[in-house]
Each structure stands twice: as C-alpha cells, then as structure tokens.
C-alpha cells in the first residue's frame, strides 16, 4: 500500500511510520540515524518552541548558546556522567579533509586534533565549565539559563522523532545558592512541562520521580512526566533533574555566600525534545492519518471551496477569501483552491496531514452566507454562519482540543491496572497500559523484571506515595517503599 | 584597565573585544574558535531571528531542518564546492569513546566509521540529496525552504561573532523550474536582507554582486550586502547565491516540465549569520560601550529610580512601576531597583550594555508626574510627561534608530573615495572607507592588488554599472567592464 496507512491493529510500528510519511512530517536521511524534519513536521516543533519559550521566560529564564563541541576530557570530570554519555557519541578527530588517492576526500592525517572533541550529547559539562568563570558571589546567583540546541547521541536502533542520533531540544541549566532553591526550580520546571503537555499537546501525563536505575547520569533525582501511547506503551516526555552539587564539585564552582564563606553551587537541568512530536502523533492519530491538537497544528483550519462552473468558482473563492480574512490572524488558515485536485482527494490529504477543522464552501454555503464544518476528530458536520465565524471556529477548535485530551485520559484510566503479584503483573504487562504496584525499591529486582517482561519503572508518581505505607511489595514481599508505575516504554 | 574599554582611536580591535566583554555579550570557550553566546548577546540574535523569520514567511518560505552531519563523499559531488569547503571542517570519524589507559576516555578504535562525516559547513549537498527525492514534476516546484542552524568551519584566526569555528545562521535553499524564477528569488532575498539591515539594524548597505574570485563555491553569481565599519573596513553582512543548475546536476535532480520533458532544476541559496551581531557592534558602538539600534535591543528602556530615604524609595518605585506598566508590552522595559548599586554606576552599566533609552525617576519627577529621559546616543536629556509616556518613548526610540542609521550613512558617504590610478588607490586604502573605481574584471590583477594592499573587491554595486561604459580601468588601463567597490574587509 504505497499511498496508504497500515491500521494500528495490524502493525502499530508501521502505522506510526506511515502516518509520518503520509503527513510529510519527516524523511530518512543518508546519514544513519539522522532524520530530516520536513516543513510540516518542523512547523509543529516551531509552535511547541514558541509556547515553551514563553513559559520559560515567564518563570524568569533567559536563553543563551554554548558550543556544539566539547573536549572529551570534560565528559570524564563527573564520574557518573561519563558512564552515561561517553558510550555512544560522535567524536571529531580531524579538522581538515584532503584529496584521496583514487578520487574523493579523506581526513587529512596532518589535521589530527590533539584532544578529540565530542558533539554534545547534553551540555552540563561545558556549561558548568563556563559557570565556574561567571560565578563568584551570591550576587551572581541564581543563573537561570535555557538553550535551544541540537544534540547527538549515537543510536543503533532509531525511530523518527522518538529516537534519532541527532535531535533538537531545549536544555535548561540553572545554578542556585541553596539546595532548597534548586529543588524548587526542578519541581517548578516539571510543572511547566506538565501544563504544556496537558494544555497544549492535549496529552495527559503523570508527574513522578525516577528510580535510581532510570536516573539521569549525574543527577540526585530525576523528575519526569510520563505519557501513555495508544498501544499501551509509556513514553517519557520530559525530565527535570536535581543535580545537587555534583557538577559544581566536578568543575569546582563555588560562590561566596552572604557570610563570606565559600560553598559549592546547587544545580538543576531540564529538557524536552522533538520526541514530543512523536508522543503527539502516537497519542492522537488514527488509521486515517495524523491528528493534531489545534494548539500545535501548523494549519488549524483548511477551507476547501467546491465548484462546478467558472461562475461558481468565482463565487466560492470570493466567499473563501472573506472567511479566511475574518479568521486571520487569530487562526492559522489555508485555502486549498487547487483545481487539479478533486474535493474528495483534498479532504483525504488534509485529514492525513492532521488539520483539525475543515470548512467546506460550496455555492449553497455562499447563498446561505455560511460554511460547513468537519472536525478531524469525526462526528457530525455542522454549519457555521459567516457572521459568527470566529466564535464558531474558536468553539470548534476548543472542543477538539478538549476532546483529544479527554480521549487520551479515558484511555489511560481504562487501561490502568494494579497488579498484586508477579504472575498477574506478567499478564497485565501483555495487555498494555500503566501498572500500579506497591514496590520495595531494589535495583536488582527492577533489572530482573525488565529482563523478564520488558517493563520498567516509569516513575514513582508524586501524588499518592503515602498509600505505600504499611503495604507489601508485589514482587519481593518486603515492606513497600513506593507506589510505582510500571510499563513497557519507548 | 580591567573594567574599562580601550578607546577606538588607540586600538580598534581591542575596543571591539572590550565592548563585547563589558556588555556581557559573549565569552571565550575552552574549544578553540568556538564562542559562548551569553544571554544579552543571544537575545540580540533572537530579535534578529524573529524579524527575519517573519520576512521569510511573508515571501512564501517555510522552515525545515536537515542533519548536522554530512557524508564526506557528498562534499566531493560538486567540483567547486569541495574546493571551497573541504579544506577546514570538523570531521567525525568515531561513534564511541572508551576508557583510556591511565584514566580519561579516548575514541574507541572499534567504533571507527566506514565513511567519515563532516559537520555541515553549509547544507547545499545534503539538501540537494533530499530534493532529489522530493522533486518529480513541475507540480513539486518551487521548493522554498529555510533552515535555522549551527554550522562549523574550522578557523585558525577567530574573532567573536565575526569569525568563529561554530556559528549560527539561516540558510535558504530554493528549487525552481526556470532560470528566471531562480534569479528573481536570489534578488528578492537580497532585497529582504537590505531592508532588514537598514530598517532594523540601522546599518546602511551596498547591494552588489561579487567578482568571480569572491564568489560562493558552486555559485554562478553571488549577490551581497556590504556594510562599512567605523574603522573604514568593509564587512559582508549577507549573501544570496544564484546556483544555476550546478547542484541539480551534481545530485541529478530533474523534474518533468509541463510538456513532459525532464529538465534539471534551478537553485538558489542565501544566508545571514551571527556575524550580523558583530556588524551591529562595530557600526554603532562608541568608547563608552555597546550602542544598539532600538529594534534589536533586548532592553529598549531602562528605568533607574533614584532615592535617598525609604519614603522616597517607595514613592519612586511605585512611579517606576506605573511607567513600566504603561510602556509594556509595546516596549522591552526593565526597572533597575537594586539598592546595592549607586545611580551613577547603574548609568554606566546600562550604557555599556547598549540600552537605547534611560528613564531617570527621582522624587521631583514623581512630583511632576514625569520622567527624565537620557538617550544612549547622547544629546540633551529631556522630560516626558507620564500622561504621554508611550508616545514620548516611541518618538525617542524612533529618533535614536533614525539617528544611528544617518550617522552610519554619513560616515560611509564622507569616506567614499574614487581613485583614478593605482598610486592614489594605495593611499586611499590606508585612509579606510569604500573606494569606487572603474575596473576591468581580471582575477590575476585582483589577486595582485589584494596581495599588495590587502584591499579586495567588495562588490560590483547593482546600481550605476552603466557609468563604466566607455571608461578605463584604473589599474590595467584596459576598457572598464565594471564599477567596483574596493575596501579592506573583515
């Protein structure tokens, strides 16, 4: 099916790839693991960026930009960090090419670098090196910096948006005088991510904290938001790390406090990436193609004029222009006036591309001074009078946004299971969805469960941990230390 | 002078570095040639980006994103391109680090890539590879894509913003069915850059076309905007390339035209970079520090409350809040309410940071329900009534923007020289400024002049070329082919 979309029920992974291809969101590149963001896919990222950037600024952050290349020795400075990130990264060893024998070019041996550089897999090391030069006293704190950047983590098995060698993200890196302030910042940014995911992406998330095995390399605590995809797998959609004084100690960053005493600085880092686009696709789309929440839809409304005669064409196009003018600039509107494509084919095309609302305008709609509205989420088509077009479209888009959130929330709630023993847990894992259990924190048991079921602890939810008190671990039978959410995950 | 700024007259290069350091625009990084964009510097880029991006969209372009890494073989596909860009670029040869004997990490020999990758020095090759897959028929044209990205060109001698190994830029890459359409696109984007430079950066530019020796590697024609810095050196601030069918042929990109015949596609590319920030600094700043045109000033207005007693403090801060509320969100306003810093020190700090307008508010201003305004460009301070504060501030900022442009234009006009022979040309080069000559296009003579005077042909200005007809080349005495602008340049 060259032009079709594999149904979710028959092959979920292929469905995901088909949705992306049919909506022209992304393409494969000639470089293993690196993808191309096509305009329609990149526009979604641009909308996410604009919204998030405003939220970061509202919470007092500023943007900066640090170098792409990091000396390899920097990675080794924080003991756990090097374990986590040195393994798979792109290493720059030469700074010049020369003509090769037999044609082409090759690295010039004379240009070998004294110290190799890695392309940043994340920027803690280079940023903390710089913070060491900028921070002297309590007056220099806090530093609340965010960076929008590309990063590279060499990946063998890749999947567009969800796991690619190069990806785009933002990374916040903050420096504070006290532990309390840094912890508060970590949690504040988790709340920012939660609000963004739920209100903008229409994607319900669970806020939680990671177990030690799933923690960011170098963090004392990793907080996360976890979403649930339609196939019952979880997806980590954003993380916020409390780094303690680890990086400050590794890079010797101290400040003179108000009493004149030198102390190490406290740190956080937090990030979301283009992976969010994959999460949105997998949360909302259907067998017809992409479904986008209106707030991140590059085109929110497509107007499809319908005509038979030239006279009708003039009439409906004039009406379409009028409607578009009334909707702009509040909404992102496109008129599809192509006469080489039949209306039915246009409908399918814009459905595949995830446009939330289609407005059909035929001669009868012109006569009635109205439009005929078809939401991408289905349901009955309905008319909107031209006189109230803005209110009508706003209400329709708000309803779609709310419906998408509600559908995803219902799906998550209906598939939530609570396993009481490992036997039922194993059965529940096969059904998909989050599994909530009482759990005694234990890395070895966690590893065994992952090995045997491919399910991992997605998080210890921030809410409801008190319920674990006095309970028994479903796996070990020991006293429970946490309520844990398990799931198979991307 | 640790805290001071070297005067332009005594050491222009050091003055430039001092302005950047004192305004906290940028910092050196531990990676040779790579700089750190500090928040105040990055905010200028963000403002430039937002304005340019809107201009690109208004002219029908969309954003996309292509991979950072390019197979080395791609660079060799276009013969001139490889000459221009293979020389100095960062080469990725390994994809993993391993623990080194004696501590630290090193590239793992087992992870050597079969084909090395280069970090993009520019993206023509990877983009034209993708266009080859997207373009089949005339219906797929034009493609009007822009990319905001980081690029790396290994540089030995670097200078913040003006020449760095890694820099940020935008690169437009368009594909067209006809030569005429591609040429029109090339010129349209040059006009976009001119309008941006003059109206937003307050920087007068000359539009022109490069001589063959200064052309982009792989282009048939390179158009440019050339600005003049305060020391009399020129700076290329943006380029727009007509690439003909070179890349389409190298990557075999053809389309079926409306007659069903396959033809090669026509191409353009165009870009401006963070170098623009350097140009702005060098065009407008003075011995007191950074001067920014209001349209790209991250802080356009700083309010400095002045008080002696606590009662006065409450009064002036309340008044400052009221003024700020009246000015937001139209203007980017900051109140400097620090009580650890004296007013005079605040004035110097915001002057060094290039804030265009300072509003002083003391008890007398509160009583008079007004503010006292001090433009960064000097001149008499003046009062603005609180009741008309928005109009007053808008008029003041517009005047500053206009004044900066006019000053730069006057400087350029007053230093423009027309040399009639090589002897006077050599003298004129030492004086700085553009030198306009009648010229017979000749790469060898151009090279000799560059060698002997360090002056290069900045461009053949688009306007006034007809004046060369019937004239004699100032250097060779042969019939002139062009009016040429020479200068020493960054």
Taking a contact as any Cβ pair under 8 Å apart, which residues of chain A between 113 and 132 contact chain B?
116-119, 126, 129-130
Write out the CATH class of domain B12-284.
Answer: alpha beta
CA angle B361/B366/B367 to nearest 5° reads: 140
**At residue B476, does pLDDT exceed 70?**
yes
Look at residue A290 in the predicted model and tell me its pLDDT: 98
- Calculate ∠ Cα A93-A96-A99, nearest 5°: 120
Q: In chain B, what are the domain boundaries?
A: 12-284, 299-399, 415-487
Q: Residues 137..196 of A with a Cβ closer than 8 Å to B: which?
A: 139, 145, 149-150, 152, 154, 165-166, 168
**Closest-CA residue in chain B for A33?**
B67
Q: What is the DSSP string of A204-230?
A: --EEEE--GGGS-TT-SEEEEEEEE-T
State the residue for tokens 């009078």: A385
Half-sphere exposure of A207 (CA within 13 A, CB side): 18
**Which pLDDT does position B137 carry in this prediction?**
96
Superfamily in which the A416-487 domain is placed by CATH:
C-terminal domain of ProRS (3.30.110.30)
Tell me whether A70 touches chain B (CB under 8 Å).
yes
pLDDT, position A2: 41
| Fold exhibited by the domain B299-399 | Rossmann fold (3.40.50)
Average pLDDT across chain B, whole number = 96
Q: Which residues of A touch B36 (CB under 8 A)?
A: 64-67, 130
**For position B1, what pLDDT does the model report?**
39
Binned at pLDDT 50, 70 and 90, residue B102 comes out as confident
Query: What pLDDT sits at residue B262?
Result: 97
CATH 3.40.50.800 fits A294-399, yes or no: yes
Give me the torsion for CA of B428, B432, B437, B440, rounded to 10°: 100
CB within 8 Å: A64 and B37: yes
**So what's the pLDDT on residue B3?**
64
CATH superfamily of B415-487: C-terminal domain of ProRS (3.30.110.30)
- Residue of A82, A105, A106 lying closest to B82 (CB–CB): A105
Q: What is the pLDDT of residue B32?
A: 86
Mean pLDDT computed over A441-450: 97
Give the closest-approach CA distance of B383 to chain A in angstroms.
32
- In this prediction, residue B2 has a pLDDT band, given cuts at 50, 70 and 90, of very low
| Nearest chain B residue to A39, by CA | B64
The answer to whether B87 faces chain A, any CB pair under 8 Å, is yes
Q: Note the pLDDT tens digit of each residue in B42-64.
A: 999 999 999 999 999 999 999 99
pLDDT, average across residues A264-278: 98
* pLDDT beyond 90 at B40: yes
Residue A1 has what pLDDT? 39
- Which tokens belong to A163? 């796991």
B5: region left, alpha or beta (phi > 0 left; psi from -120 to 50 alpha): beta
Contact A34, B129 (CB under 8 A): no
User: pLDDT tens across B164-215, in order?
Assistant: 999 999 999 999 999 999 999 999 999 999 999 999 999 999 999 999 999 9
Spatial contact of A207 and A266, defined as CB atoms under 8 Å apart: no
pLDDT, residue B380, reads: 92
Q: B72–A97: do the CB atoms touch at under 8 Å? A: yes
Q: Which residues of A touch B110 (CB under 8 A)?
A: none
A89-98 mean pLDDT: 95
Q: What is the dihedral of CA A426, A427, A428, A432, to 10 degrees?
A: 100
Across the interface, whether the CB atoms of B106 and A72 are under 8 A apart is answered: yes
B373 touching A (Cβ < 8 Å):
no
User: Distance between CA atoms of A33 and A18, rounded to whole angstroms?
Assistant: 18
The ipTM of this complex is 0.96
Calculate what percentage of chain B has a pLDDT beyond 90: 93
Mean pLDDT of chain A: 96
């Amino acid at each position: 099916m060259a032009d079709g979309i594999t149904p979710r029920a028959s092959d979920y992974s292929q469905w995901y790839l088909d949705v992306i291809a049919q909506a022209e969101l992304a393409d494969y590149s000639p470089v293993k693991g690196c993808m191309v963001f096509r305009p329609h896919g990149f526009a979604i990222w641009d909308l996410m960026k604009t919204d998030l950037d405003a939220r970061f600024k509202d919470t007092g952050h500023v943007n900066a930009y640090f170098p792409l290349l990091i000396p390899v020795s920097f990675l080794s400075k924080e003991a756990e960090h090097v374990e986590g990130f040195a393994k798979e990264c792109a290493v720059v060893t030469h700074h010049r090419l020369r003509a090769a024998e037999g044609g082409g070019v090759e690295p010039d041996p004379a240009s070998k670098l004294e110290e190799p550089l890695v392309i940043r897999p994340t920027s803690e090391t280079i940023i903390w090196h710089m913070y060491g030069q900028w921070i002297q006293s309590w007056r220099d704190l806090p530093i609340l910096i965010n960076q929008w950047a590309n990063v590279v983590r060499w990946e063998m098995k890749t999947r567009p948006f969800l796991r690619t060698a190069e990806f785009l993200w933002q990374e916040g890196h903050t420096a504070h005088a006290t532990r309390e302030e840094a912890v508060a910042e970590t949690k504040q940014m988790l709340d920012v991510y939660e609000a963004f995911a739920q209100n903008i992406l229409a994607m319900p998330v669970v806020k939680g904290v990671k177990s030690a095995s799933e923690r960011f390399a170098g963090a004392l605590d990793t907080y996360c938001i976890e979403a649930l995809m339609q196939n019952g797998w979880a997806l980590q959609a954003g993380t916020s790390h409390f780094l303690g004084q680890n990086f400050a100690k590794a890079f010797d960053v101290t400040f003179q406090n108000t009493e004149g005493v030198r102390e190490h600085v406290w740190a956080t880092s937090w990030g979301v990436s283009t992976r969010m686009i994959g999460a949105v696709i997998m949360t909302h789309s259907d067998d017809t193609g992409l479904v986008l929440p209106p707030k991140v839809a590059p085109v929110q409304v497509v107007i499809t004029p319908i005509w038979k005669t030239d006279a009708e064409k003039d009439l409906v196009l004039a009406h379409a222009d009028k409607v578009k003018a009334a909707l702009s600039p509040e909404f992102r509107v496109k008129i599809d006036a192509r006469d080489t494509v039949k209306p039915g084919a246009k409908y399918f095309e814009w459905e595949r591309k995830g446009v939330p609302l289609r407005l059909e305008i035929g001669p009868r709609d012109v006569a009635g001074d109205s439009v005929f509205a078809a939401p991408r989420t289905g349901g009955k088509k309905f008319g909107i009078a031209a006189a109230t077009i803005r209110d009508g479209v706003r209400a329709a888009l708000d309803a779609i946004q709310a419906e998408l959130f509600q559908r995803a929330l219902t799906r998550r709630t209906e598939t939530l299971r609570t396993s009481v023993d490992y036997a039922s847990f194993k059965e529940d894992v096969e059904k998909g969805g989050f599994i909530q259990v009482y759990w005694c924190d234990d890395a070895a048991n966690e590893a065994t469960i992952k090995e045997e079921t491919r399910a991992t602890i997605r998080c210890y939810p921030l809410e409801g941990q008190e319920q674990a008190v006095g309970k028994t671990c479903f796996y070990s039978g020991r006293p429970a230390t946490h309520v844990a959410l398990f799931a198979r995950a991307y």
